[in-house]
Amino acid sequence: MAVREIVVIDHPVLRRKAKKIIKLTAEHRKLIEDMIETMRVAPGVGLAAPQVGVSERLIVVEYAEEEEDAPPKKKKLYVVINPEIVAVSEETVQGTEGCLSVPGWVGDVLRHEAIVVRGLNRNGEKIKIEADGWLARIFQHEIDHLDGVLYIDKLVSKDTLRRVQAGTEEAAEAIG
């Protein structure tokens, strides 16, 4: 495993529609492991292949809902190849997002409260994930990357885009 460089906003790969993965190879398996390590070191809650310079439809997400006055839950790791959103809730929610490829900035984005994602797991088996709340937001954010879309393209208002200091609570809570 290796930590890969995360490309930032001006890199052209972030604006391309990523290619569908037709056949899972040893190279893809290494990419998956590298992406997981890179996401954890960054630290982030999700990472799309274009963010490490690879224009293929692959995301990793690691997240656990936290509840007040409860012990922290173990994070769940999702590896999704060729993810697609197949259902969305009518209800939308505004939330603050940041991105490892847009360091030092956060902004408010409207997202569906709940979604259903289909794709393949790391073994090439079909999976379906029903997500709501922050997890649904993370999946929507990462899948947007596969279509060349950044959260800054979806701001509810340009006025919500603001600088954050690395290491602050706001920066940590908004990393997407």
Residue with the bigger pLDDT between 50 and 169: it is 50
Q: What percent of the chain has pLDDT over 70?
A: 91
Residue type, 56: E
Instruction: Give the CATH number for residue 21.
Output: 3.90.45.10
Question: Residues near 174 by Cβ (< 8 Å), separated by ≥ 6?
Answer: 96, 97, 98, 106, 164
Question: Across the chain, what does the average pLDDT equal?
Answer: 93
pTM for this predicted structure:
0.92
- 77 domain-assigned: yes
Q: Are 88 and 130 in contact (CB under 8 A)?
A: no
- 5 domain-assigned: no
Specify the DSSP element, H or E, that contains 73: none
- 6 domain-assigned: no
Quick check: 61 pLDDT over 90? Answer: yes
- Across the range 37-57, mean pLDDT stands at 97
- 2 domain-assigned: no
Quick check: 175 pLDDT over 60? Answer: no
Q: How many domains does the chain have?
A: 1
- Residue range of the domain that includes 63: 12-174
- 69 domain-assigned: yes
Catalytic residues: 142
- 7 domain-assigned: no
- 136 domain-assigned: yes
pLDDT at 172: 58
- 4 domain-assigned: no
- Across the range 70-83, mean pLDDT stands at 90
pLDDT band at 64 (very low <50, low <70, confident <90, very high): confident
